[in-house]
Structure 1
């Protein structure tokens, strides 16, 4: 079977691109070693290959169904969940006193990439549960942690995030689910939530819903929203399961991808009110939930990277094996056909796939390294800077990986030709799975407005300046390497335009935010291209240094990295210039278009 990820690339990203071994000098990781990190990755790869990948197509073809009492999944899903939990991945990053292994975030996310590549639909249950448990760890009361956390860590309970409502998608400030305080300090919740992934299933004894609702009498808007823990089954003081809570499955939704993930409509309070307990402070629920949302945004980027990577590796194998046609210089119709990969246009498409898939994975792991520095670096200033930079880049990581993950999977189908869109080949399902990611955790416009309207101007542009300083440092280093210096030179004009357009639109926002943010998705894409080009330049620099002492296999690997960087910087980075022209001109055709004219 084609590998789920390129193991050599993962080693490169962890130990050459990011220097993950340096984390061993931090007190939190003093008992770890590179051997432990590698063993973690080996375990993830083995479980993903043996228990996740084999039922990827089966789960897609046999969607979850509800018999009126229970939701049923293909049985292999339960075996995969159990193996993931028993291996300790649900709580690997927790503190030892919580029952965890204190695994670095970047190592855990690298391991999880194998599961997402193998079977993103089955992997999503653990993805959501980890985020819900992290939310409980950060904001939950001790009583809540005692009652729920250990069970979430060992896989007896799973978790969800319940935000969206049938009448409200991304406009969370307008949600109508209400919570009523009871004499015993608990709340009764009433309302309906929609598109709740993992909202009901038969994998665990209980499901812990993290629900946004408005306490009765709270003000309108985001200041009136609070966060509640609402279990599917109530939990007794001794830890045993109690009565079924008033949370009802109103229906299963049927998606084009991730089909083995239950997508649910949940009703709260049809029989008197769903029992919930307040998490964190009243009125600060959306702020608390942003922890899980931002974690999920990087997580969706990693889903996109992993799916793109799987399709790339499968397509590369196909192109190397499939005879098809002859080179333009060959005029002999009786000559043997060449393999697909011998055709220049196929190599162009494979290069684009490589640039998107490997670039997205590098981008996500870089973001995870920022999260790591934000929480465990010894220097308080480095921690603050890492958090600020991660805040800036989160919408870019999520959106760029999702958008160009789709482009990569589209190319996979194109390279296979007619075989690409039939179900006998995995590329068809992978494309459908990938297409959900640009919508998961916010559409492009949401993140474009977030980036341009908030992130680049927050703290008077402090995060933006951190980004530019980091890019400039890489460019300065790149000017000293033969072959790389030309790639560094290619950044000069795009960066100057990014600076000027950012300043122009930031100033315009003060007086005319509608016009300033009308083309925010173009700004998001241009910013993402520059960010991706920087990530590739950083990889090329590491690869260039590695060539000096490389063996034959590593020489090919490093040369591939450098060539992918060259492709991205030569083909994709210049595409930002017409985007900046459009932004600088504040092109307003979509803004001035009127409803009646459609």
Structure 2
């Protein structure tokens, strides 16, 4: 079964994406237009991205002293993506968009992630522009966001700093008003920024004529001191090159300098940079300090930035899924064609018989089935979250608010679960290839290297776990968790009526109950340090419960579609669901045992005992 077959089933048979055209915003669309978009993206990914995946891995970006050099293949792939119009696919017609549902855009972009994740689908540029469309002024939207959507300019997000890492409370980049008339600049209140930003993906390159940096910085108080914590953080647009109110380059370079390129384990086709803001290398108007334009109100930068961060987290999850999926299909093809060994029969092995393909060995099938369960289940979760985005934007007020809360609860899972378990799928893909998998003769080692980043960027595993157990399941009186529970119970009710799924429905009900009660046990002392010491095991259990729900709902829909005649594709989906319920879901007991008991060993072991 091809990836496209899987995608079409989830998009149309399971999520009924074509019904979205019943809404006014999508009224011009149909299944035919959606398919045309998918066809176009699949073709570009196949022709421009996939052939370059190894090239961009071995020909790393380098700095020649003036500019960052990328392989010609990267420029060609980026140009093809821009020409497709996918950068603004979900935007309004009047700004050059297609008004596609985000669900369809996410599905279409998955082809690029699968073909070459480090060339990618320009996730940060679209996220940057989307943030400005919500929080920027009309002028900022016209000058910066629209030029990003057109592909003329690129965008970044600049949060981390060398001394602070993920601890945004410790951001030290400063922003001071640029002159007495700073508030009257037509592009927004004008500041001068000084500081350093680290781990900036696509922070410098020549793919576009300009790069729009979205930067977190602190505005000093009247005494020149920075406000401690995150409340003092503001958000700024800092273009690499200065522009006028018509979006024209002025010929002046902003005071943003490339301090170095990070050389990475994977994602080598994407530049990753250390940027210096305001060091005086490129003075503007004779003064040091990078010119930045305030977005939103002072002190509310982190709230604005979360609009982009949450979008990026789902994008990271999708990248992890597609890398896992690429490895799965590569190892499946290998297993079907690699002869090795002989099966064990009642009398043992018969060395006189011909070798069999390794897919005939039970353990290889176990590894393939694990990959299928991880990757196709995680793909369902990513598309489900994308469908919630459409509901939030175009549903009734009540449905939109429910979708918002469900996304709050599911976003840590959509980011973290694929980045852990689709990475494991990549490891299994290497194992199936044996020694060959550990060489560069086959692509699976690169898929693993690329995927290892996804547990780290856009919020590490530990950060996502603390967010889930410390905030998301508790917010608004636990309403998001209650909404999730209602949807899980609705699936259980349908599946329980099917003999082949009744046992799974019962297991999911017990798993949801255990995951819910563990919250109360973790927080029973009211001490956050005790509650959150085992936040990662909690997130692992919660994620497995969510994926079990996805598989039960998908399996129920597959049986319904077949209407009594079990197809090969449904047999595969039921096999993956069975694997997940028999091999994976029981793991949550071990994880939740330490959560419920608030096991303290990790926190209490003396440092010198390590």
Deviations 1:282-313 (A, max 9, x none): 11000100011000000000000000001100
1:547 is aligned to 562
Residue 262, structure 1, aligned to residue 271, structure 2: yes
Q: How much has 1:144 moved relative to structure 2?
A: 1.4
1:127 is aligned to 123
1:71 is aligned to 68
Residue 144, structure 1, aligned to residue 144, structure 2: no
Partner Cα separation in structure 2 for residue 286 and residue 312 of structure 1? 38
1:426 is aligned to 443
Which residue of 234, 241, 247 maps to 1:233? 241
Which residue of 228, 251, 269 maps to 1:220? 228
Partner Cα separation in structure 2 for residue 142 and residue 237 of structure 1? 11
Preserved CA contact (<8 Å) 2:139 2:245? no
Which residue of 372, 382, 385 maps to 1:354? 372
Q: How much has 1:501 moved relative to structure 2?
A: 1.0
Q: Residues 506, 21 of structure 1: CA spacing in aligned structure 2 closer, same or farther, 3 A cutoff? A: farther
Greater Cα offset, 176-185 or 334-343: 176-185
Partner Cα separation in structure 1 for residue 589 and residue 148 of structure 2? 48
Greater Cα offset, 582-591 or 196-205: 582-591
Give the secondary-structure state (helix, strand or coil) at the position aligned to 1:188. Answer: strand
Which residue of 278, 296, 316 maps to 2:312? 296
Partner Cα separation in structure 1 for residue 333 and residue 594 of structure 2? 40
Residue 211, structure 1, aligned to residue 215, structure 2: yes
Greater Cα offset, 388-397 or 147-156: 147-156
Deviations 1:234-286 (A, max 9, x none): 01234321200000000000000000100000000011100110011111000
Partner Cα separation in structure 2 for residue 534 and residue 208 of structure 1? 40
Q: How much has 1:359 moved relative to structure 2?
A: 1.0
Preserved CA contact (<8 Å) 1:304 1:434? yes
Preserved CA contact (<8 Å) 1:301 1:398? yes
2:284 is aligned to none
Q: How much has 1:160 moved relative to structure 2?
A: 0.2
Partner Cα separation in structure 2 for residue 487 and residue 158 of structure 1? 46
Residue 194, structure 1, aligned to residue 195, structure 2: no
Give the secondary-structure state (helix, strand or coil) at the position aligned to 2:88. Answer: coil
Q: What does 1:243-254 correspond to in 2, within 5 Å?
A: 243-254=252-263
Which residue of 169, 172, 180 maps to 2:176? 180
Which residue of 22, 25, 33 maps to 1:25? 22
1:372 is aligned to 390
1:15 is aligned to 12
Q: How much has 1:585 moved relative to structure 2?
A: 1.5
1:589 is aligned to 601
Residue 438, structure 1, aligned to residue 434, structure 2: no
Which residue of 543, 546, 563 maps to 1:528? 543
Which residue of 280, 303, 307 maps to 2:296? 280
Q: What does 1:391-430 correspond to in 2, within 5 Å?
A: 391-430=408-447
Greater Cα offset, 166-175 or 182-191: 182-191
Preserved CA contact (<8 Å) 1:452 1:517? yes
Instruction: State the TM-score, normalized to the length of structure 1.
Output: 0.97
Preserved CA contact (<8 Å) 1:53 1:118? yes
Deviations 1:408-461 (A, max 9, x none): 000000011001110010001111001110001111110111000001111111
Partner Cα separation in structure 1 for residue 338 and residue 586 of structure 2? 33
1:577 is aligned to 589
Partner Cα separation in structure 2 for residue 155 and residue 381 of structure 1? 35
Partner Cα separation in structure 1 for residue 152 and residue 564 of structure 2? 49
Q: How much has 1:549 moved relative to structure 2?
A: 6.3
Q: How much has 1:219 moved relative to structure 2?
A: 2.2
Partner Cα separation in structure 1 for residue 3 and residue 515 of structure 2? 33
Give the secondary-structure state (helix, strand or coil) at the position aligned to 2:292. Answer: strand
Deviations 1:370-425 (A, max 9, x none): 11101111x21111011001001100111101000110000000011001110010
Deviations 1:492-521 (A, max 9, x none): 43222222211222333x3x1101110000
Q: How much has 1:143 moved relative to structure 2?
A: 1.4
1:457 is aligned to 474
Give the secondary-structure state (helix, strand or coil) at the position aligned to 1:122. Answer: coil
Preserved CA contact (<8 Å) 2:537 2:591? yes
Residue 169, structure 1, aligned to residue 177, structure 2: no
Greater Cα offset, 582-591 or 244-253: 582-591
Partner Cα separation in structure 1 for residue 567 and residue 501 of structure 2? 16
2:187 is aligned to none
Preserved CA contact (<8 Å) 1:157 1:204? yes
Give the secondary-structure state (helix, strand or coil) at the position aligned to 1:211. Answer: strand
1:317 is aligned to 333
Preserved CA contact (<8 Å) 1:457 1:506? no
Q: How much has 1:331 moved relative to structure 2?
A: 3.1
Greater Cα offset, 30-39 or 236-245: 236-245
Greater Cα offset, 176-185 or 315-324: 176-185
Q: How much has 1:151 moved relative to structure 2?
A: 1.6
Q: What does 1:13-162 correspond to in 2, within 5 Å?
A: 13-123=10-120, 126-162=122-158
Partner Cα separation in structure 2 for residue 578 and residue 273 of structure 1? 53
Partner Cα separation in structure 2 for residue 266 and residue 133 of structure 1? 21
Give the secondary-structure state (helix, strand or coil) at the position aligned to 2:464. Answer: helix
Preserved CA contact (<8 Å) 1:188 1:273? yes
Deviations 1:455-483 (A, max 9, x none): 11111111111111111111111111121
**Over 3 Å off, 4+ runs:** none
Residue 483, structure 1, aligned to residue 500, structure 2: yes
Instruction: State the TM-score, normalized to the length of structure 2.
Output: 0.95
Q: How much has 1:547 moved relative to structure 2?
A: 2.1
Partner Cα separation in structure 2 for residue 206 and residue 33 of structure 1? 36
Give the secondary-structure state (helix, strand or coil) at the position aligned to 1:160. Answer: strand
Which residue of 511, 528, 538 maps to 1:494? 511
Partner Cα separation in structure 1 for residue 585 and residue 268 of structure 2? 35
Give the secondary-structure state (helix, strand or coil) at the position aligned to 1:435. Answer: helix
